[in-house]
Structures are given as structure tokens and as C-alpha cells.
Amino acid sequence: MNANGRYGERTPRFVVVFLFGLVALLAVGTCATPAVASPGDPVITTTSGRLQGVVGATMIQYLGIPYALAPVGALRWTPPSPISPWTGIFQATTFGNVCPQMDLKGNVIGNEDCLFLNVYAPLGKTRLKPTGRAVMVWIHGGGLNKGAGSDFDPTPLVEGGDVIVVTINYRLGVLGFLAQQALDAEGHDAGNYGFMDQQLALHWVNDNIAALGGDPSRITIFGESAGGLSIYSQLASLQAGGLFERAIAQSGAYADFSPDYRDNIIPIAMAESSGNDFVPSGAEMSTAAGCPDQTTATCLRGLLATTLVTTQVKNKYPTLPVIDGTLLTQTPGDAFNSGNFNRVPVITGNNHDEYRYFVATDYPQPVGNGQYDTLFTKVFGSALELSVEAEYPLSTPTPPINQTELQLSAAGTDGIFVCPARRAERGLAQFVNVWAYEFNDESAPFPATPVLDFPWGAYHSADVQFLLNRIGPPAPAFTADEKTLSAAMISYWTHFAKRGNPNSTSTPHWAPYNSKIDERQSFVPPTPLVESGSDFDTAHVCSLYWDKL
């Protein structure tokens, strides 16, 4: 610590599109630097040492707090190690490094010394912290390849819901998720290093949040996209037992919860050697990076992070967790169906038009109907293509000019996101209270709009801006009705964090999910409504098609 207190196309296309398409909404490194703490700002004592944050008009921020040793050198691809307490006062006034990843311009940014977290707490009447507030820990998305806690400003939740919000970084891409023979033979927990980071961050929060005004018995984990997948995985990981009391998974069912048409989370031994049609093997990835000898980790640990990130992106290798036998002993889907998971209340759901984002951003626009067969094959693979096309056909004899885009969007939404999310809800609801939703604002603002011949709809990640401010390109302002919807969603999320139930007198009643009637809350402006199970199921053909594959 220095004087200022600071530490220095092989897979079916639906996997690749999802894991590498989230770029326009994840502008990394654009966060403004807060002001330096003043002498009157409070100094807090944690298990890591003393730290001083920045007091603003409505909240106090503690930024860039290291929760683990830098995972570099011999510590690369090992479980995260807690840091030793520092001396002096740590100036928690600027964000820490983002983890290595590729930015929008194709440059590798970030630093492996990236295991930092940020705490945002409402101010009490005396500027010093009150105690006992509910805590929400945000796990960012980005396909497990991109993003950082600093990409999100949780002011709406902190101010609107009177909760403490923590945002975290965790290892990404091949540096965070790699099953490789020599590494896995070293005798430590292996494969899911990014999830291990998340758990160590949660340990830090449990140990220290009381000193920052939080209640360690009321910790909610929440995340969207790969953050939602992380939530499902932490629910399934018995190693995370006791680290949180509630969970919210937004649009995270894409990597699991399918009947038989894809296996994205596989055993670690299989991931090391052969992989499958959906998951590249660790041997393939390390060979592509220039380390073909699988019996030693020396070569891999000697590579620059830039080389590893560039190799992964160049070859379009997706990032996925594995069943490692310790952190994950089975897939989240199997864990939920068996009841062998951390049984806490859950909010979970999806957006109505998830896949329109990927069709809009992954293919040159406009997409003509002449590309119908090609694109369905890319997304679903040759084995499933004809079946999916029969369910989502082009009109004859002359389809509308944007029908390929809309049909591909509908198929991707239903088969990759919505119907898997419904299966997650049904598994969980056998054992815990679940509140299910669908985000249905068909005119949700988009921060950077390319020319399209079809509407964005309720696209993937559109819901996030209704809960947190997203750092990056500005989006059009909310309408009055959208402001009302945002207030309702913030109320649901924060009341859930406080009481384990999203309901209050200020919002329409949201009933726990019942698989027999299959109702869920529809987040439509201005006021959430109840969506019938038959309407939902018919719109997304879950029972009639996807559940039968």
C-alpha cells in the first residue's frame, strides 16, 4: 500500500452471442472520481484496517476497498486469499482496478489486481452512519467476461429504499473460470475462481458491514445476466451457506435449466479435457494461448493477462462455470429440483424481449429474410435448427422485411432465457418462497440506438436502469410512467431486502409464485400488474415446445 493508502465459431451461436454481445451497455472505465475525503469525514474500523470514505449530500461512499490479495503470479488461478490488515487510514475515495477484459475498441484493459468492493450507505441525521440497515450486494453481469462494480451507481436504491448497497469485482473470463489439468491437480479448489471471489467478498461484507451501518443478518445478493447466473450458482453452492439471507436473480437462467437441448455447465474433468459442443475445454484454450503442455501450469502462469484475454475473445470462447465438486457439486437446476441448495427467499424473472438486444447488436443491420436459415443454424446449431424453424416460421409467400429478426429474437428469448427462467422458478418454489416477474416495458430507454427495422422492446438488461444508474452512454430520460414503474421496482427490491417479502402498502400486491397457476408480476409502466400463467406460457410456448425438447 502506498502513502495515499492505495494498492498499487466453435459453439452454437446462442452461447457466443450472449457471452460476447454485451458491449454497448457495459462501458467500462467511464466512472467519475469522487472528491477526496475531508478531515471531518468519519473513519471506520474494519477487520482489514481503518478506512475513510467520502460523505456527500445523501450518502457516504467507501470505494475501492481491497478484499483479497492480488491474484497474480503464483496466486493466479488459486482461491482468493484474504488480505492482511493494513496500517494507517485507507483512503476509500477512488475505485479500484477493473479486472482484465476487452473494451469496446478491442483493447485489453484492467489489471489482475482487481479484487475490490465499494460500499454506499445512506446518511443519518448526524452525517454519521445509523446502524442496522439491510444490505444489498450487487454482482454485475457481462457474460462473466466484462464489467465491474464501478459500472453501476446504486444511488436510486440507497436514496429510494434506505438500504446499503455493495458492488464488487470478481475475476473474469479465462482468468476467473478455467478448468485445466495441471491447475486442478494442485490440491486447491479449482475452476470457478470468479465465484470463489464473490464468496470471499460476501465474507468481508458479513464481517464488516455492521461497522458501516449495515445488518449482517439481512444481506441480499442480486445481479442481472451473468450476475443472475452468479446468484443461481451461489444459491446452489452450499459453501455460500449463511453468507446471505435473500437472493434476486434477473435474466440469469441462460446457462442452465434447459431440458436436454444444451449442457453449458459440465463436470470439471470433462471441461479439462474434451469439453462439449457448447463448452470449450481447458486444454483447447490453453493450447490456443500458446501452452500446449497440460501437465504443467508454469507456461500459463507466465502468460500476460493481455494474451489470455485476446486469445479468448479472438477464438470466441465463452466463459462458463463448471461442476467442480466443492463450490458446485451439481448444476443449479439439479440443486433446485432436489432441494439441495441454500433455502432463502428468492425474486427471479426475465424480460419479455431478451434476445432482441443480441439480434440488434451481433448482426449487421438490417438482417434480411435471406439469412433466416443461416442465422437459426448459428444460434441453435444444426441439430436443433429445423425444429426451431418449424416453431418460428417465416410467413409465406412474402414475409415482412423484418420477420427473420423478430422470429429469431422470439426464439432466442423463449428458448435461452424465458422458459429456462420458468423452470428455475418451479424448482425453487418447491422449497422456498419465490416471487416471479416479467419486465414488460416495450419502450424502455436504450443508451445508444443503432438504426433498426424492428423495435427494441423489453430487451436484455433494460430492467437494470430502473434500479441502478448505469455508468456509460446516456439513455433517453424516463417518461413519467417509467419513473412510477422505477419507484415501484425499487420499493419491491428494497422491501424484499429488509423483510424477505417485496410487498408494502405503496405497491400493488405481488403474490408468491405458485407453479399450478403460474402467475407472475408484470413490470409494465406505470403500475405493475398480474400476468396470468396461460398468457405467459402461450406467449413463450414453454409447455407446448421448449419444455418438450
The candidate with the shortest Cα–Cα distance to 489, out of 519, 528, 458, 459, is 528
Q: Which string of b and e fits 14-43 if b means at least 16 CB within 10 Å? A: bbbbbbbbbbbbbbbbebeeeeebeeebee
Same domain, 172 and 299: yes
Query: Does any domain span residue 331?
Result: no
Last residue of a domain, one of 314, 339, 367: 314
Query: Does any domain span residue 515?
Result: yes
Query: Does any domain span residue 329?
Result: no
Type of residue found at 24: A
Query: Does any domain span residue 188?
Result: yes
Query: Does any domain span residue 322?
Result: no
Which domain, by its residues, includes 180?
A: 13-314
| 3 state SS of 530 | strand
Tens of pLDDT, residues 192-240: 999 999 999 999 999 999 999 999 999 999 999 999 999 999 999 999 9
Same domain, 291 and 364: no
Same domain, 384 and 518: yes
Same domain, 257 and 392: no
Does residue 528 have a cis bond before it (omega within 30 degrees)?
no
Same domain, 468 and 532: yes
Last residue of a domain, one of 258, 290, 314: 314
Same domain, 309 and 355: no
**Predicted local confidence at residue 32, as pLDDT:** 40
The candidate with the shortest Cα–Cα distance to 102, out of 310, 410, 400, is 310
**Predicted local confidence at residue 364, as pLDDT:** 85
**Predicted local confidence at residue 451, as pLDDT:** 75
| 3 state SS of 43 | strand
Instruction: Output the pTM of the full model.
Output: 0.93
Q: Is 499 exposed, middle or buried (0-12, 13-18, 19+ CB in 10 A)?
A: middle
Query: Does any domain span residue 337?
Result: no
Count the Cβ atoms, other than its own, within 10 Å of residue 4: 11
Which string of DSSP letters, residue by residue, matches 245-280? SEEEEES-GGGS--SSS---S-BHHHHHHT--SSS-
Q: Which string of b and e fits 130-165 if b means at least 16 CB within 10 Å? A: eeebbbbbbbbbbbbbbbbbbbbbbbbbbbbbebbb
Same domain, 275 and 359: no
Query: Does any domain span residue 310?
Result: yes
Same domain, 360 and 300: no
Same domain, 273 and 173: yes
**Predicted local confidence at residue 38, as pLDDT:** 55
Note whether 59 and 122 are within 8 A (CB).
yes
Q: Which string of b and e fits 361-385 if b means at least 16 CB within 10 Å? A: bbbeeebebeebeebbbbbbbeebb
Per DSSP, 323 falls in state B
Q: What is the CATH number of the domain that holds 410?
A: 3.40.50.1820
**Predicted local confidence at residue 394, as pLDDT:** 96
Query: Does any domain span residue 327?
Result: no
Same domain, 105 and 198: yes
| 3 state SS of 228 | helix
Same domain, 38 and 137: yes
Last residue of a domain, one of 314, 334, 360: 314
Type of residue found at 442: E
**Predicted local confidence at residue 37, as pLDDT:** 52
**Predicted local confidence at residue 475, as pLDDT:** 81
Same domain, 291 and 422: no
Q: Number of structural domains, the chain?
A: 2
Question: In which residue ranges of the chain is pLDDT below 70?
Answer: 1-40, 124-130, 449
